Amino acid sequence: MLILHDPDAPLKDGFTHGLLYNIPPNVRSLNENTSKEDVPEIAEHRVQGRNSEGTLGYTGPCPPSGVQRYFARFYALRTMLALPPGADTKRVQRTMEHEIIEEAELMGTYEKKASARIAS
């Protein structure tokens, strides 16, 4: 399980940028620029959840201003989750709550640079 989340987004619960669940234990990496529909390494499981925009797949960082934190949270679970494709973060978190064996977290920051202005 992988959840990419921005708690600093100006929304009540922050912004989830991406959500993958039911990743088989033998998967060690994921390709870049993956289709919004399937993750080739685990396509048979159709494991992408809905991000905070309500769409499948990953949505990149776009803070309105300043530096924001982005957390990648990884979870090892006892079992695959009995969820359909496209579940949202809250539903996935409720379903996995008692199935977590281990978890890890990485945090990075991103700052949107001001656009260059052309002098007239």
pLDDT at 108: 95
CA-based R_g, the chain, Å: 16
Domains of the chain: 2-111 (3.90.280.10)
pTM: 0.82
Mean pLDDT of 27-56: 72
Name the region of 54 (left: φ>0; alpha: ψ -120 to 50; beta: rest).
left
Instruction: Please report the pLDDT score of residue 52 as a whole number.
Output: 94
Give the whole-angstrom CA distance, residue 58 versus residue 19: 8
**From CA 51, how far away is CA 72, in angstroms rounded?**
14
97 token code pair: 């709550």
Is 94 strand, coil or helix? helix
The pLDDT assigned to 24 comes to 83
- Residue predicted with more confidence, 9 or 40: 9
